[in-house]
Amino acid sequence: MSILRGKNILLGISAGIAAYKTASLVRLFVKSGAHVRVVMTPSAKEFVTPLTLSTLSDHPVLSDFTDENDDNAVWNNHVELGLWADLFIVAPATANTLSKMASGNSDNFLIATYLSAKCPVYFAPAMDLDMYKHPTTKNALDKLQSYGNILIPSAFGELASGLVGMGRMAEPETIVGTIEQHLLEGLPLYGKKILVTAGPTHEAIDPVRYIGNHSSGRMGFEIANTAAQLGAEVILISGPTHYKALYDSIQTIPITSARDMYDAAHQYFKDVDAAILSAAVADYRPKFPAVSKLKKKSSSLVLELEKTEDVLASLGEIKEKQLLIGFALETENEVANAIKKLKAKNLDLIILNSLNDDGAGFGGSTNKISIIDKDLNQTNYPLKSKSEVADDIINELIKRVHA
């Protein structure tokens, strides 16, 4: 899913022929997971209907300070709407609307809302060739950018007049992509690549049975989603789980066994800035898995087990610039055992949780952790949802990858 997921997007539409493209633009924003509301200038309704846009956005479309045909004259609160928005996009931005935005000439609901907005404002100009070249238009473009507004440049192409040149509104896909890229570049993990492991491993006894554990994979997926939300490119190596990554910038590598996890982690580790190994990798596996299903012939079954590959320790041995973070799930002598693991596996941070703490551990929606760094500084956190725990872990990572 897009970085726009969960964002409140306000789309302002002014009266130009390019307004017909805004139906596609609203659809793309909604598909990205954003909440979309639309404001229009009164004349814009001649080019695209409010009914179309309200249907696509699932919100009423506003174009005036009071609702039309409403005897009670309920006021549409432009201030509240401007404060609601995380992003405000004016598209198409006609020469008339650009001039009003630049001068503050608040003679319609769209401009009043623009003047009330506290969020980043993007604008996509659309007009005919000579209008686009006019000095007053250039002056408006320069002034709006000097105010901190972000220009989505017009494109070269065929115009409504039949002329060919600059002034064509950027295509909806270009507008969405430009905004996504701009947001990503401002995020603290932009340009960073993070490796995350998640879930259990299954070690085959025979073709239908395995040794496993109770890990659901939820903690690792929350970590991956949080890292992606903050701009990182994420490699998520996951054992068997029903969870799905939420963002397009997460590449999920499905694996089954500890050996699979080891091979995948070593394939990607050399190219990452940090690795967070939250997977619950089996410590042992059957030494001689059966090639066909074992029959229940006796009252007992003896399996010879062998150690699996130690993924975390093996990465600790070869790490160079990478920040390496591991997990310790303990039941006794928790802090001492976690510190022992931190040192033995050459980690930068270890995330300790205890099965003795209510709400912590496998399967649930919450966790309670302590974070210990290689200098043995320890930070204890209260019981939180796993998404909030992921925030705490990624915040610690951010401090160190930018140090």
- Give me the active site residues, please: 213
And the tokens for 14?
A: 């002014």
And the tokens for 225?
A: 């989603």
And the tokens for 23?
A: 């139906």
And the tokens for 136?
A: 């007053």
Tell me how far apart the alpha carbons of residues 363 and 379 are, in angstroms, rounded to a whole number. 24
Q: Closest by alpha carbon to 261, among 218, 315, 215?
A: 315
Q: CB neighbours of 6 closer than 8 A, spacing ≥ 6? A: 33, 34, 35
> Taking each helix axis from N to C terminus, what angle separates 95-103 and 109-116, rounded to the nearest 10 degrees?
40
Tell me how far apart the alpha carbons of residues 263 and 246 are, in angstroms, rounded to a whole number. 25
Q: Distance between the two ends of the chain, CA-based, in angstroms?
A: 30
Asked if 205 and 211 touch (Cβ cutoff 8 Å), the reply is: yes
Query: What are residue 319's phi and psi, to 5 degrees?
Result: -65, 145
Q: Closest by alpha carbon to 238, among 222, 224, 252?
A: 252
> Can you tell me whether residue 14 is helix, strand or coil?
coil
Query: What are residue 143's phi and psi, to 5 degrees?
Result: -65, -45
Tell me how far apart the alpha carbons of residues 47 and 13 are, in angstroms, rounded to a whole number. 10
> Taking each helix axis from N to C terminus, what angle separates 135-146 and 95-103, rounded to the nearest 10 degrees?
50
Tell me how far apart the alpha carbons of residues 255 and 280 are, in angstroms, rounded to a whole number. 13
DSSP letters along 43-76, please?
Answer: GGGGTS-HHHHHHHHTS--B-SSB-TT-TT-PBP
DSSP letters along 103-170, please?
Answer: HT---SHHHHHHHH--S-EEEEE---HHHHHSHHHHHHHHHHHHTT-EE---EEEE-TTS-EEEEEPP
Tell me how far apart the alpha carbons of residues 140 and 125 are, in angstroms, rounded to a whole number. 11
